[in-house]
Amino acid sequence: MDIDGTLIDNHQNVSALTKKTIKELQDQGAIFYIATGRMLSLAKLIQQKINNDVEIIASNGSVYQKGHHIHK
């Protein structure tokens, strides 16, 4: 899922409905990824607003985080 204009609003907030929907999908076994051109550190700020089980693909795909492991 992209961040800008998709996961967050103009004030960098993730809606309660979005958080709830992502959690419901995760509870059903879906692996949810944030995919962004942003640097990993900036994507992690959005991850923290959702939940720690969200995975990250950052820097236009050159870095990804799965669990506690960062791959470059």
Across the range 12-31, mean pLDDT stands at 96
Q: How many domains is the chain built from?
A: 1
pLDDT value at residue 69:
65
Q: Specify if 46 maps to a domain.
A: yes
Pairing mode, strands 33-35 and 55-58? parallel
Q: Specify if 1 maps to a domain.
A: no
Q: Specify if 3 maps to a domain.
A: no
Q: What is the pLDDT of residues 34-72, one digit of tens each?
A: 999 989 999 999 999 999 999 999 998 888 877 766 767
pTM: 0.84
Q: Specify if 22 maps to a domain.
A: yes
Q: Residue 58 burial (CB < 10 Å; 0-12/13-18/19+)?
A: buried
Residue 47, domain extent: 16-71
Q: Specify if 4 maps to a domain.
A: no
